[in-house]
A and B are shown apart, each in its own frame.
Chain A
């Protein structure tokens, strides 16, 4: 059962990390007039963190399935 185990705790940790990464004050650090490969840093940051979170959740969820 994945619910009570390590995976559950990992998911909660990911949730907390996501809340931190997507909100003030961490978010404000990236609101700068810089561009990464032409993309504004803010947009780049949000989408990259978002994708990373999804990857981590996928890793946890699919690992637990084994």
Chain B
């Protein structure tokens, strides 16, 4: 037994140490040298999950059900394995939107709804205030155990039957309220982070772990001879067989086990204190990485000795004499280890106080931001608007809320005492906060959730939870008539709270979890799907779901401008204080490259910034309301709509014009390209022509030069040869001048510079003249010319010399190709009334089809190079040019081996004739 004063002194000394740690943490934070900015502190602070319920209750649970205390810790282990995916997203969302509580998270996601925030707050308060009471009870009964007698406490009756003012628990509660107020509401911070408090919580986690390990090692290795010895003794006791197998009591089964794992997994994320520590108080996202394994490792460490202590207690005291929940204290006491018992008590104190402090801060933030502020805004909007500085009011509300929450907890503890409702509150509380899961997780991964859906889901889940878990716990405590529990309300068996619709065979927690989550998810999905999300829900939904995709960019604002900086600044200052607000706005101005607040323009981005700042202090829904008092959200007027339409049509007209211009440009480009191609082709033709001409000129020049040189070099050359050479030179010179004449001719005709001397002419006379002119040539070749002339043809207006040139050319060509001897040339003239046609046919070798097109090209002669007769290769091209000049055409028909027929025809009424 220990004297009461010693325990009180130890307790308050411990609390003083806690104050010191928190004070140190805050000091360091103010200096910018945070002591909580490391992953170890973060992971340890998450261990606030382990409350007095863990500290004392686990052993009790193990003593009655073996490993059934474990789902509460396996669930969080599994949940933490997904923390890097889920919790990281929550942290990022909360940081971006300055979300400071789980109520604010839900409210902000579904269109910044006051109603939702309020509902979540109420669920959290109803679900967790009894949990606070449980912590107070643990402290109280621990104290009673240490001072009182073992026997008096065996059935757990509290030692407190004197007046409330003598109850140490009240003073503990008040001290905790003081601590929470000092370190939880020191000032209004836009991020709502409390470094000193987190440092203290991490410290408490170390204390409770060390204390529990101390008693565990003492029981296992001092009182007994290690794990093996304990188990060996337990196996020997038939009474303890149930502790060693899975379901010794045989009441819950594997389904219940699974439900408990799920429940604890959800609770570790959605309990208000866990949200506060894991999400709101997170300094650096990277710390979460280590917490994903360090926190489960902490849970493992604090649970290793649970079964040994339970077995040790059962072996020592036997079943039914001492409450197994108190084994951690009673075992050392029974062996006169007073110092160890005191250490264990301090450990329990740390487990309880840690939970109470964080829960009180989380609840007070929610109550202030999502319950009281909206009401004040609603009821006394104008009264609030009139007050200049509201920071005091806000802090007052928070501090009041903390005191009220702790006193409510104390009151519940005094009223409930040893009632079932208090003892079983751990899992009941878990089931309450599990109701947040559909709205929060749905909101983070599904854009379609609506405000009504979340409201319906939360309400339905909460109602079913209250009916199937809370009310029965009241009935079991004797506060309600039990027949409601045993026979159902009004005797309706189907509505029995613990066997709803006849669902039996599972334990009450699994039963409640199933029905409440079914109602919750069903209503959330069903009602959400009734309508499409509104603009604001959709925009918030996108901001939440795509938080990782947005990066650090400022989200698009809901507001269309219409605010003044000189209105926004004082509004924020009223809630945050003048200095902090000016600092925040100045930082904002600097980040946008402006020199100071004066240069800020009240664009939507600044309005959004102000709203986010306010959201940190008073919650997103209230921030929206407050900002809307100074921001005129201008509706779109008719003029504006017309302007927009006008602009749009102008833009469309411009774009139409542009399209047309670009089409025209494309066409022009195509034309230019074609012209360019043509020019290139002409250039190529010119080059070909030049090389052909020079080639043709060189051949006669070469022979003239060669013969001339021979005569110069050799004066003794005889006269005959000399005569012959001179003849060749003359003929070659003639050929040369003919060639030059023809080239000039062709160039003139092609360029249109040729002179045409048109006269009325008779084709009969022209053809006859041509045949006579070539008669000597034909005779030389031994060829016979047959002439077929009609009696009369209409006269034609053309250049006589040119046409004669054409016919002569055709005749001399024919003469060149006819066989020697036996050559024959047929010349005929015809007229069909519109055209005059001349055909010149020979019985030569003919022209193969492949060559028929080629012979009309310049310098391309028919026949192979050996049998090719002399000629310039310009005759036919020139003839064709002449004929075409008079609007006629010149063509060739030939079958190889049967000779060739060159024909041309000329229109009688030629358009070009008068040129």
What is A's interface to B at a CB cutoff of 8 Å? 2-3, 7-8, 11-12, 14-15, 18-19, 22-25, 27-28, 31, 33, 35, 37-40, 42-43, 46-47, 50-51, 53-55, 57-58, 61-62, 64-65
Does residue B35 face the partner (Cβ distance < 8 Å to A)?
no
- List the one stretch of B114-122, B292-300, B477-485 in contact with chain A: B292-300
With A18-B77, A24-B254 given, is the CB distance from A57 to B85 under 8 Å?
A: no
Distance A25 CA – B691 CA, assembled complex (angstroms): 97
> Across the interface, do A57 and B292 meet the contact criterion of CB distance under 8 Å?
yes
Q: Which of B45-81 contact A (CB under 8 A)?
A: 66-67, 70, 74, 77-78, 80-81
Distance of A31 Cα from B81 Cα, bound (Å): 26
With a CB–CB cut-off of 8 A, which chain B residues contact A25? 254
Identify the closest chain A residue to B80 (Cβ).
A57
Q: Within the assembled complex, what's the spacing in Å between the Cα atoms of A35 and B231?
A: 9
Which residue of A50, A57, A64 contacts B74 across the interface (Cβ within 8 Å)? Answer: A50
Provide 12 A-B residue pairs closer than 8 Å at the C-beta atoms, listed in order of the A residue.
A7-B84, A8-B85, A12-B82, A18-B81, A23-B257, A23-B261, A24-B257, A42-B66, A42-B246, A46-B70, A57-B292, A62-B289
**Do A43 and B80 have beta carbons less than 8 Å apart?**
no
B residues touching A (Cβ–Cβ < 8 Å)?
66-67, 70, 74, 77-78, 80-82, 84-85, 88, 227-229, 231-232, 235, 244-247, 254-255, 257-258, 261, 286, 289-290, 292-294, 296-297, 300, 304, 307, 548
Residue contact A62 to B290, C-beta cutoff 8 Å: yes
Cβ of B254: which chain A residues have Cβ within 8 Å of it?
Answer: 23-25, 27-28
* Given A18-B78, A47-B304, A65-B289, A57 and B296 contact (CB-CB distance below 8 Å): yes
Cβ contact within 8 Å between A51 and B300: yes
Find out whether the CB atom of A54 lies under 8 angstroms from the CB atom of B77: yes
Task: Evaluate contact between A14 and B258: CB separation under 8 angstroms.
Answer: no
A58 touches B231 (CB 8 A): no
List 3 A-B pairs, minimum CB-CB distance, nearest first: A38-B228, A24-B254, A58-B293
Most buried by B among A15, A28, A64: A15
Q: How far is the CA of A18 from the CA of B297 in the complex (A)?
A: 15
Contact of A64 among B66, B235, B289 (CB under 8 A): B289
A38 to B80 alpha-carbon distance, docked (Å): 31
Say which residue of B74, B88, B227 sits within 8 Å of A39 (CB atoms): B227
Tell me how far the C-beta of B680 lies from the nearest C-beta in chain A, rounded to whole angstroms: 57
Supply 10 further A-B pairs (C-beta < 8 A) apart from A3-B548, A38-B228.
A11-B81, A22-B261, A23-B257, A24-B257, A31-B246, A35-B231, A38-B227, A38-B231, A40-B231, A58-B297
CA distance A11 to B289 in the complex (A): 11
Interface centre among B67, B232, B255, by most chain A C-beta atoms within 10 angstroms, is B67
* Nearest CB in chain B: distance from A10 CB, A: 10
List the A residue with the shortest CB-CB distance to B85. Answer: A8
When A and B form their complex, what is the total count of cross-chain residue pairs whose Cβ atoms lie within 8 Å?
Answer: 110
Partner of B67, one of A42, A61, A62: A42
Write the nearest CB–CB distance from A21 to chain B, whole angstroms: 10
- Min CB distance B457 to A, Å, is 24
Assembly CA distance A20 to B267 (angstroms): 20
What residues of B have a CB within 8 angstroms of the CB of A19 in the complex?
78, 261
Residues in A with CB closer than 8 Å to B235 are 35
CB proximity of B289 to chain A, nearest CB, Å: 5
Residues of A with C-beta under 8 A to B290: 61-62, 65
- For B548, list chain A residues within 8 Å (CB): 3
* B245 contacts across to A, CB distance below 8 A: 31, 33, 40, 42
| Chain A residue contacts of B78, Cβ below 8 A | 15, 18-19, 22
Provide the residues of chain A in CB contact with B257, threshold 8 Å: 23-24, 27
Chain A residues contacting B77 (CB-CB under 8 Å) are 18, 50, 53-54
Instruction: Tell me, in angstroms, the Cα distance from A33 to B81 when the chains sit together.
Output: 31
Closest CB in chain A relative to B430 CB, distance in Å: 17
Question: Do A47 and B231 touch across chains, with their CB atoms under 8 A apart?
Answer: no
The verdict on A27 contacting B246 (CB below 8 Å), with A46-B70, A54-B77 known, is yes
Q: Which residues of A contact B74 (CB under 8 A)?
A: 18, 22, 46, 50
Chain A residue numbers with a CB within 8 Å of B246 are 27-28, 31, 42
CB <8 Å contact, B82 and A11: yes
B288 and chain A: residue at smallest CB distance: A61
- B258 proximity list for chain A (CB < 8 A): 23-24
A51 CB contacts on chain B under 8 angstroms: 300
Considering the chains assembled together, what is the distance between the CA atoms of A31 and B258 in angstroms? 16
Give A11 to B227 CA distance when docked, in angstroms: 33
| Distance, CA A47 to CA B297, complexed state (A) | 11
Known A27-B246, A65-B286; judge A50-B231 contact (CB<8 A): no
Among B245, B304, B307, find the residue whose CB has the most chain A CB atoms closer than 10 A: B245
Residues of B within 8 A of A7 (CB): 84
Q: Which residue of A lies closest to B89 (CB)?
A: A3
Cα–Cα distance between A39 and B860 once the two chains are bound (Å): 111
CA gap between A53 and B82 in the complex, in Å: 13
Q: Are B296 and A54 in contact (CB under 8 A)?
A: yes
Task: Tell me the nearest residue of chain A to B234, going by C-beta.
Answer: A40
Contacts of A35 in B (CB 8 A): 231, 235
Please tell me if the beta carbons of B293 and A57 are within 8 angstroms of each other in the complex: yes
Is the CB–CB distance between A40 and B244 below 8 Å? yes
Are B231 and A8 closer than 8 Å at their CB atoms? Answer: no
Provide the bound-state CA to CA distance between A7 and B245, in Å: 36
The docked-state distance in angstroms from the alpha carbon of A20 to that of B228 is 28
Q: Which residues of B contact A62 (CB under 8 A)?
A: 289-290, 293
In the complex the two chains form, what is the Cα distance from A43 to B289 in whole Å?
A: 29
> Are A42 and B244 interface neighbours, CB within 8 A?
yes
Whether the Cβ atoms of B300 and A54 lie closer than 8 Å is yes
The distance from the CB of A7 to the nearest CB of chain B, in whole angstroms, is 7
Of B77, B232, B294, B300, most A-chain CB atoms within 10 Å: B77
- Tell me if B67 and A38 are in contact (CB < 8 A): no
A31 to B68, CA, bound (A): 13
Chain B residues, CB < 8 A from A31: 245-247
Instruction: Given the known inter-chain contacts A23-B257, A57-B293, A61-B293, please indicate yes or no for A47 contacting B300, CB distance below 8 A.
Output: yes
Most chain A CB neighbours (cut-off 10 Å) among B81, B227, B286, B294: B81
**Contact residue among B85, B229, B247, B296 (Cβ-Cβ distance under 8 Å from A11):** B85
Shortest distance from the beta carbon of B760 to any chain A beta carbon, whole Å = 96
Chain A residue numbers with a CB within 8 Å of B307 are 43
A61 to B81, CA, bound (A): 9
- Expressed in whole angstroms, the Cα–Cα distance for A54 and B205 within the complex equals 19
- Kindly list chain A residues whose C-beta atoms are within 8 Å of the C-beta of B227: 37-39
Of B66, B82, B84, B261, which is within 8 A of A2 by CB? Answer: B84
Cα A27 to Cα B244 with chains together (Å): 14
- How long is the Cα–Cα vector from A31 to B248 in the complex, in angstroms? 11
A31→B77 CA distance, assembly (Å): 22
Q: For A23, list chain B residues within 8 Å (CB).
A: 254, 257-258, 261
Tell me, in angstroms, the Cα distance from A65 to B84 when the chains sit together: 12
CB of B81 within 8 A of CB of A53, answer yes
Are A46 and B231 touching (Cβ within 8 A)? no
Task: For A33, list chain B residues within 8 Å (CB).
Answer: 245
CB distance from B636 to the nearest CB of A (A): 40
- Min CB distance B234 to A, Å, is 9
**How many angstroms from the CA of A7 to the CA of B82 in the assembled complex?**
11
A10, B761: Cα distance in complex, Å:
104
Query: Whole-angstrom distance between the alpha carbons of A57 and B255 in the complex?
Result: 26
Roughly how many angstroms separate A32 CA and B345 CA in the complex, as a whole number? 37
Contacts A18-B78, A38-B231; A43 near B300 (Cβ below 8 A): no
Nearest Cβ in chain B — how far from A60, in angstroms? 8
